[in-house]
């Protein structure tokens, strides 16, 4: 028996979207800190000058000449608010890069089974005789199974996710591992 479960297209798209969304969100924060907030401060300072001089009609004309709304900003943006935009932008952009790196490292992975054993998504070859356990606590409710193994004195585990990997092959792989463990326990 030979089975291969590839990463599903929906999983790939979802993770790509998350990374791209976070990068765009970070860019939005950077734009606000570098352009948006300073423009707000420029509008506020101009309005304040006209308002303090009691020249609200001139303010409306000046705002119209600049293409601004006649309604002034409620307040000027503080230096802390502007720096905050850069901080939030950095956090969002860094998170987006991490998400894209994770996506890039995962998209080509497969889960494989043959007559001798299983090849984990990370590429580790695990013979059936090296499998020490199968965690099925979340298998029925969430489609997550944990395969535990020991190869060359080194313990490890990998997750079989029937959402991340093609459902039918992933489920068949888990069932085959379960069958082999039960047969080994019985014999």
- For the residues of the chain, what is the DSSP string, one character each? --EEEEBPHHHHHHHHHHHHHHHHHHHHHHHIIIIIHHHHHHHHHHHHHHHHTT-HHHHHHHHHHHT--SSPPSSPPPHHHHHHHHHHHHHHHHHHHHHHHHHHHHTT-EEEE-SSEEE-TT--EEEGGGEEEEE-TTHHHH-EEEEEEEETTEEEEEEEETTTB-HHHHHHHHHHHHHHHHHHHH-
Give the pair of three-digit tokens for residue 174: 């888990």
Where is the domain boundary, 106, 128, 147?
106
For residues 78 and 18, membership in a common domain is answered with yes
Task: Check which CATH number belongs to the domain holding 175 and give it.
Answer: 2.30.29
Read off the pLDDT of residues 143-172 as tens digits, 9 standing for 90 and up: 999 999 999 899 999 999 999 999 999 999
For residues 181 and 129, membership in a common domain is answered with yes
For residues 29 and 67, membership in a common domain is answered with yes
Quote the pLDDT of residue 152.
87
Tell me how many domains the chain contains: 2
For residues 76 and 123, membership in a common domain is answered with no
Distance between CA atoms of residues 106 and 44, nearest Å:
48
The reply to whether 1 falls in a domain is no
For residues 17 and 101, membership in a common domain is answered with yes
For residues 15 and 31, membership in a common domain is answered with yes
**Predicted structure pTM score:** 0.80
The reply to whether 36 falls in a domain is yes
pLDDT band at 29 (very low <50, low <70, confident <90, very high): very high
Range of the domain at 56: 8-106
Read off the pLDDT of residues 43-92 as tens digits, 9 standing for 90 and up: 999 999 999 999 988 889 999 999 999 899 999 999 999 999 999 999 99
Nearest by Cα to 133 from 155, 154, 110: 155
For residues 13 and 73, membership in a common domain is answered with yes
The reply to whether 3 falls in a domain is no
The reply to whether 19 falls in a domain is yes
For residues 136 and 116, membership in a common domain is answered with yes
- Please list, in sequence order, all residues whose beta carbon lies within 8 angstroms of the beta carbon of residue 14, skipping any fewer than 6 positions away: none
The reply to whether 42 falls in a domain is yes
**Whether the predicted pLDDT of 93 surpasses 80:** yes
| Residue with more model confidence, 94 or 184 | 94
């Amino acid at each position: 028996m030979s089975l291969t479960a590839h990463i599903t297209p929906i999983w790939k798209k979802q993770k790509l979207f998350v990374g791209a969304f976070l990068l765009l969100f970070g860019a939005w924060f950077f734009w606000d800190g570098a352009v948006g907030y300073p423009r707000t401060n420029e509008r506020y300072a101009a309005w304040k000058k006209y308002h303090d001089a009691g020249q609200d009609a001139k303010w409306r004309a000046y705002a119209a000449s600049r293409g601004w709304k006649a309604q002034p900003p409620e307040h000027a943006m503080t230096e802390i608010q502007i720096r905050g935009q850069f901080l939030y932008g950095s956090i969002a952009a860094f998170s987006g890069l991490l998400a894209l790196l994770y996506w890039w490292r995962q998209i080509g992975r497969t889960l494989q089974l043959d007559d001798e054993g299983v090849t984990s998504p990370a590429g580790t070859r695990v013979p059936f005789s090296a499998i020490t356990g199968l965690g099925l606590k979340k298998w029925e409710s969430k489609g997550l199974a944990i395969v535990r193994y020991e190869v060359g004195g080194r313990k490890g585990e990998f997750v079989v996710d029937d959402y991340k990997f093609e459902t039918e092959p992933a489920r068949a792989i888990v069932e085959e591992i379960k069958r082999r463990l039960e047969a080994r326990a019985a014999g």
